[in-house]
Amino acid sequence: STSEPLKIMISGAPASGKGTQCELIVQKFGLVHISTGDLLRAEVVAGTEIGNKAKEFMNSGRLVPDEIVTAMVAARLSREDAKQRGWLLDGYPRTFSQAESLEKMQIRPDLYIVLDVPDEILIDRCVGRRLDPVTGKIYHLKFFPPESEEIKARLVMRPDDTEEKVKSRLEIYKQNAEAASSSYSNITKKIDGSRSKEEVFKEVESSLSQLQQSKGKILKSG
Ligand code: AP5
């Protein structure tokens, strides 16, 4: 495409559906998906220094120290594919200091999406969530069961998806959400994430399409 690449941030409580919507956004818009949770989990599995440092924080549902996460995000954003295809930043910034770090690096999105979902739904979504280690796809035992017995047999649960840990992740989210998102209030789009994933995506898709059109126009006239 000739239009300028999109730069999108997606935020929301644990299990609000960020990863699920990102799968759909990537399919339709081809952006580079940068999820700090996924990047950190990959470091843990690979047993790297970052992974070893992050593991205890993640497994107990606490935030990994800013400097670790920020260095990781900065490195990923500066790669050529993200510059060419545009990016979709998922799970970052999560604190005021992370948002400040991005400002210092002059990294700003075109649009800041917040998925809004009530607490009682979030707990159910986390406890039933399962991941396919082969494809990386996100499932839910009740809402999105696996397509085959073969996939079902290999699904894994995240160590931080127990009811107790979800509650503490939610607390931490609430403590930080306002400060982390304050720099983006003029480009924020709040979306009701409690509906079906298709309905949520319809709204996400229309915001991104509009944005893409307006960025194209700026390029043509400029
Ligand atoms: P991270 O992986 O980012 O976890 P999170 O923010 O808690 O978000 P989740 O991945 O739990 O949920 P999601 O919103 O992606 O929902 P999903 O689509 O999977 O972070 C994990 C940890 O890493 C943190 O706790 C922290 O330790 C560390 N970390 C990460 N970023 C950090 C940072 N910036 N700074 C410091 N530390 C950081 O959906 C959830 C479930 O619901 C699935 O089963 C799905 O199938 C189902 N579902 C989705 N949408 C719907 C729908 N519309 N209807 C019904 N079910 C649905």
What tens digit of pLDDT does each residue of 65-109 get?
999 999 999 999 999 999 999 999 999 999 999 999 999 999 999
Rounded percentage of the chain residues whose pLDDT exceeds 90: 94
User: What residues line ligand 1, using a CB cutoff of 6 Å?
Assistant: 12, 14-20, 36-37, 40, 57-58, 61-64, 69, 91-92, 94, 98, 125, 128-129, 138-140, 143-144, 160, 169, 196-197, 200
The pTM of the whole model exceeds 0.90: yes
At 1 the pLDDT is 47
For residue 123, report the distance from its CA to the centre of ligand 1, in Å. Answer: 11
Q: Is the pLDDT of residue 183 over 60?
A: yes
pLDDT at 131: 95
Mutate to test the pocket of ligand 1, among 40, 176, 195, 200 (most ligand atoms within 8 A of CB): 40
Ligand 1 test: best mutation among 23, 36, 152, most atoms within 8 Å of CB?
Answer: 36
Mean pLDDT over each residue of the chain, to the nearest integer: 95
Beta pairing, strands 138-140 & 129-131 = antiparallel
Quick: pLDDT tens for 115-135.
999 999 999 999 999 999 999
> Is 18 known to be catalytic?
yes
For residue 3, pLDDT beyond 90: no
pLDDT at 216: 83
What is the C-alpha separation between 117 and 97, in angstroms, rounded?
Answer: 25
Ligand 1 geometric centre to CA of 3 (Å): 30
> And the tokens for 196?
């079906």
| Domains in the chain with CATH codes | 7-193 (3.40.50.300)
pLDDT of residue 175 exceeding 70, the answer is yes
Q: Is the pLDDT at 2 greater than 70, yes or no?
A: no
3-state secondary structure of 190: strand
Q: How far apart are CA 19 and CA 14, in angstroms?
A: 10
% of the chain at pLDDT higher than 70: 96
Q: Is the pLDDT of residue 168 over 90?
A: yes
Whether pLDDT at 46 is above 60: yes
Query: In this structure, which residue's CA is closest to atom 21 in ligand 1?
Result: 37
Entry field: residues in the chain: 222
Catalytic: which of 41, 76, 94, 165?
94
197 assigned to active site: no
Give me the helices (H) in the chain, please. Answer: 18-29, 36-46, 49-59, 66-77, 80-85, 96-104, 119-127, 149-154, 163-181, 197-221
